[in-house]
Amino acid sequence: MRESPILSLRWEQKSIETEVLRFWSNKLNHEIRCHKYQQYQSFKQWSELKEYCNGPGIRLIGDMPIFVALDSAEVWSLPELFYLNASGRPTVVAGVPPDYFSRTGQLWGNLLYRWDVMAAHGYQWWIDRFRATRALLDIIRVDHFRGFEKYWEVPGTEMTAMNGRWRPQS
């Protein structure tokens, strides 16, 4: 299996110049169109399945994780919503403190939100995310919902979650 040219791009290049983005869009036009078509078919078929299930009263339940991954479209397109340094690396990440089951805690590595920035925009990102998920599901379970109230913050350079701290959401 050959490596994807998209994945071989360094993630620090998230703030790609327009010309570079245009170059890769042209170079990978076929791959991009294939992915778009596959996503279209996936959403179309899911919508048909949801409608079919809802007909006799069956409701679809699914999870929406509270956190997103560093290499997600959300982070690439809206880096200002996350704690990132100038080169796009996380300054702090999510985890779980040490406990009886894990003496070093759990270093999840998921990005933490800049709630101050989200608040300034009326939490529109969350509103849009819930709306998009609601279009796919009838009942949404937010995985790690506690993160809306308080979260375990670990410096982005740590190898374990031991040096984290509980932070209240602002």
Q: What is the 3-state secondary structure (H, E, C) of the chain?
A: CCCCHHHHCCHHHHCCCHHHHHHHHHHCHHHHHHHHHHHHHHHHHHHHHHHHHHCCCCCCEEEEECCCCCCCHHHHHCHHHECECCCCCECEEEEECCCCCCCCCEEEEEECECHHHHHHCCCHHHHHHHHHHHHHCCEEEEECHHHHCEEEEEECCCCCCCCCEEEECC
Give the pLDDT band (50/70/90) at residue 10. Answer: very low
Average pLDDT over residues 35-53: 97
- In this structure, the answer to whether residues 54 and 115 fall within a common structural domain is no
The Cα-based distances of 90 to 11, 29, 121 in angstroms read 12, 30, 22
26 pLDDT above the threshold of 90: yes
77 pLDDT above the threshold of 90: no
6 pLDDT above the threshold of 50: no
| pLDDT recorded at residue 16 | 52
Q: Between 20 and 31, whose confidence is greater?
A: 31
- In this structure, the answer to whether residues 73 and 53 fall within a common structural domain is no
11 pLDDT above the threshold of 60: no
- In this structure, the answer to whether residues 74 and 137 fall within a common structural domain is yes
Give the domain extent around 64.
59-170
- In this structure, the answer to whether residues 12 and 38 fall within a common structural domain is yes
4 pLDDT above the threshold of 60: no
Average pLDDT over residues 44-61: 98
Average pLDDT over residues 102-116: 94
Q: Between 57 and 16, whose confidence is greater?
A: 57
Measured distance CA(135)–CA(23) in Å, rounded: 34
Q: Between 146 and 151, whose confidence is greater?
A: 151
- In this structure, the answer to whether residues 36 and 70 fall within a common structural domain is no
80 pLDDT above the threshold of 50: yes
Average pLDDT over residues 93-110: 95
Give me the torsion for CA of 48, 52, 53, 57, rounded to 10°.
130
Give the pLDDT band (50/70/90) at residue 170. Answer: low
Specify the number of domains making up the chain: 2
Give me the torsion for CA of 3, 5, 9, 15, rounded to 10°.
-150
83 pLDDT above the threshold of 80: yes
- In this structure, the answer to whether residues 82 and 95 fall within a common structural domain is yes
Burial state string for 84-99 with b = 16 or more CB within 10 A and e = fewer than 16: beeebebebbbbbebe
